[in-house]
Amino acid sequence: MKLPINWLQVLSVYLSAAAIVGYGMCFFEFAAPWLKLHSNLIDDGWVEVLVFAIWISVPWFLNLRRRQTALERMREGIHYFDGPRSMG
């Protein structure tokens, strides 16, 4: 069974990919030159790759934390309604 193309989903995937690429490019355009000026640790070696890996993982970590918080709040709400009922 062939499903029709969901153009909104296609657009969101391409926009998300463009945002990720743009965010990664911002590191090399803005963050890396600033770090090279203000720190002697960044020298186009492995430290720059490590800092880039940290830079690119920040949005992923923030999204993961946001989802965990939402799940915890949802569980608290379900627990509140699933509690024992008082007889009386």
Q: What is the pLDDT of residue 79?
A: 57
What are the φ and ψ backbone dihedral angles of 78, each rounded to 5 degrees? -65, -40
Return the half-sphere exposure (C-beta side, CA atoms, 13 A cut-off) of residue 42. Answer: 16
Higher-pLDDT residue of 24 and 45 is: 24
**Entry pTM:** 0.60
For 11-41, the pLDDT digits (tens) are 999 999 999 999 999 998 998 888 888 887 7
Mean pLDDT of 62-81: 82
